[in-house]
Amino acid sequence: MDAAGRRVPFDAQQVDAPLSRSAVFLVVTIGPTPEQLRTALDVVAGIDDLVKSVGFRDLGANLSCIVGIGSAAWDRLGRSDRPAELHPFVAVEGPKHTAPSTPGDLLFHIRAERPDFCFEFERLLFEQLGDSVEVVDEVNGFRYFDARDLLGFVDGTANPTGRGMADATLIGDEDPAFAGGSYVVVQKYLHDLAAWNALTTEQQEAVIGRRKADDVELDDTEPQRAHKTLATITDDNGYEFDILRDNMPFGSPAAGEYGTYFIGYTRRLWVIERMLQRMFLGDPPGYHDRILDVSTAATGTTFFVPSLQLLEGLADAS
């Protein structure tokens, strides 16, 4: 629903909030003391109020925020239950490339059509968090032309739509205590644009598996499979397990830094883990994803995204 049809901002934890033109990807760790944990939990429990306080100023900005909780932070909550698939990001060490595992207790995925709304939300967020957290990573993403990454290809074409969105992203009856939640994996990739641009358009298209100009899928050149194939997970009957990607470019030309921030929401964490194994180890083994020859994974962290109701109750329950 567009701003003209809404009277309030989007709820926090709304995974299917519209993809935006601006975003902040913020990963923090919580300090070691009980007081720091309490402060952090109080802040995340009230995140919906902060979204509304900032977002109401311009509903057309489509401000939203999703909070993810890491495995180590969940262990500190003192709960006897935990999401079935929640565990630390598992590093993948391939013959040539590695997907590292990096720390993170909380993820704040802040997105809006206006970068000033992302800025203001983050400013007020840190005002509330105080010294309870330490920043591990902060990335400011932006929408690049017609939803392209800095490699020049459209990113996110295979995202689920309509009724398929909930099935792909929201936990269901398989884990009823955490139904309505989601898992999210984040990775920061740094690109060697000089090496990428040294390839011909045809060579780039073979790596990605799509035509650069119009995004049409191309057949693989066996046995080497393209990125779009290695990142597609199916069962024995051909059923495709979708995930929701909200990847964004980031960078600083002055610093020579260019990258893509991968963020994938899923009902089934194993789907993204299988995808990364295929990319870094190769399928068949030895034929790794050639995009990794120019894109280096610098971070890797897994989080559980509670439903808003569960998030709001964490501070009281701990």
pLDDT tens track for 74-118: 999 999 999 999 999 999 999 999 999 999 999 999 999 999 999
Q: Is the pLDDT of residue 201 over 90?
A: yes
Assign 255 to helix, strand or coil: helix
The pLDDT tens digits for 143-163 are 999 999 999 999 989 899 988
How many whole angstroms separate alpha carbon 84 and alpha carbon 59? 36
- Name the band, by pLDDT with cuts 50, 70 and 90, for residue 46: very high
pLDDT of amino acid 4: 53
What's the mean per-residue pLDDT of the chain?
95
Query: Which carries the bigger pLDDT value, residue 54 or residue 10?
Result: 54
Under 8 Å between Cβ of 189 and 260: yes
pLDDT of amino acid 318: 55
Just list the catalytic residues: 155
Q: Is the pLDDT of residue 268 over 70?
A: yes
pLDDT of amino acid 5: 59
Supply the DSSP string of 112-179, one letter for each residue.
Answer: ESSHHHHHHHHHHHHHHHGGGEEEEEEEEEE-BTTTB-TTSSB--TT---TTHHHHHHS--TTSGGGT
pTM for this predicted structure: 0.96
- Name the band, by pLDDT with cuts 50, 70 and 90, for residue 317: low
| Average pLDDT score over residue span 162-191 | 96
